[in-house]
Chains A and B, each alone.
Chain A
Amino acid sequence: MHRFANPARFLRLSAALRPWALGVALLTLLGGLWLALFDSPPDYQQGETVRIMYIHVPSAWMAMMVYSTMAVASAVGLVWKHPVAELYTKAAAPLGAGFTALCLLSGSLWGQPMWGTWWVWDARLTSVLILFFIYLGYIVLVSAFDDPQRGLKAGAVLTLVGAVNLPIIKFSVDWWNTLHQPASVMRLGGSALDPAMLWPLLIMAVAFTALFVWLVLLRTETEIAERRIRALRLATAMAARRDEAPGLGQPVG
């Protein structure tokens, strides 16, 4: 009967957390957009293009943060066979891919006016593009197996191997010469950003995080529901076979 066991504790927790995540996301999104677009100064060098930062930097943080949580969940899923951990990874991947795409797009739109180019093959940009491809590779791999359980396992291994890219992204601006500027918010000695720009940036980061939490909870619930759907369909099919030919349709194993 444990085939039908649903992770009831996760579902209860998720249902309790979801409204809070949505509330925080909406409030901070409104407040953050107001500050970013109306109540923050233009940069003395970059002018109004600095407003792209309030989209670009939070989505870059999310791109890496989402992947980090997927890597942890993959390890938990592989080591302890925790069923929700595997489904979380699958639920999070499209969100991470979306944030990474947004990071690349907004970065390109910022690079053209400030660097004079949409794209350069330097370490930071290339390693983030690779992160995007790892997300896509995960999504394709997980759904490429007839047995969804095997797909999840293969995806977990890919996620762990791909995690080597995270420190490369983070330190690429220090290890190699790149057009991309080094970290200015999370660095030793405090942020180099003026509070008038730091606040909208941090609030937008909270907004993106809360939106991700809301979405990933919904998506993990959906993954759980879909696994239950598969189990029920299998059981219905077996019952139908048993009715047709008694003794033949016994479950194997």
Chain B
Amino acid sequence: MTGVSEYLAMGGYAAYVWTAYGAAVVVLVGLVAATLARRRSSQRSLEALEQLRGRGRRA
């Protein structure tokens, strides 16, 4: 257990090291989430529009 807490303490620099890695997780996960969310919504509207257009043609 002391090994784990000693590791987590990062030689007294825990606040700096873990905040830096936390910032990396936040930024990278944020970019991935934003990218996937926008992709999903644009795909949905494109499908809806193309369906509408296809129907219009045939009518």
CB atoms of A98 and B27 under 8 A apart:
yes
Q: Kindly provide the distance from the CB of A58 to the nearest chain B CB, expressed in whole angstroms.
A: 9
CB atoms of B50 and A225 under 8 A apart:
no
Size of interface on A: residues with Cβ below 8 Å to B: 37
CB atoms of B10 and A48 under 8 A apart:
yes
Count of A-B contacts judged by CB separation below 8 Å: 93
CB atoms of A233 and B24 under 8 A apart:
no
- Closest chain A residue to B14, Cβ basis: A48
Size of interface on B: residues with Cβ below 8 Å to A: 30
Majority secondary structure of chain A interface residues (helix, strand, loop or mixed): helix
CB atoms of A48 and B13 under 8 A apart:
yes
Q: Kindly provide the distance from the CB of B10 to the nearest chain A CB, expressed in whole angstroms.
A: 4
Chain B positions 16-47 with a Cβ under 8 Å from a chain A Cβ: 16-17, 19-21, 23-24, 27-28, 30-32, 34-36, 38-39, 42-43, 45-46
* B50 neighbours in A (Cβ, 8 Å): 232
- Closest chain A residue to B30, Cβ basis: A98
* B23 neighbours in A (Cβ, 8 Å): 55, 102, 105-106, 109
Since A49-B16, A102-B23, A239-B56 are in contact, a sample of 5 more A-B pairs with Cβ atoms closer than 8 Å, ordered by chain A residue number, is A48-B11, A49-B17, A95-B31, A113-B16, A233-B49
Chain B residues proximal to chain A, CB less than 8 Å: 10-13, 16-17, 19-21, 23-24, 27-28, 30-32, 34-36, 38-39, 42-43, 45-46, 49-50, 52-53, 56
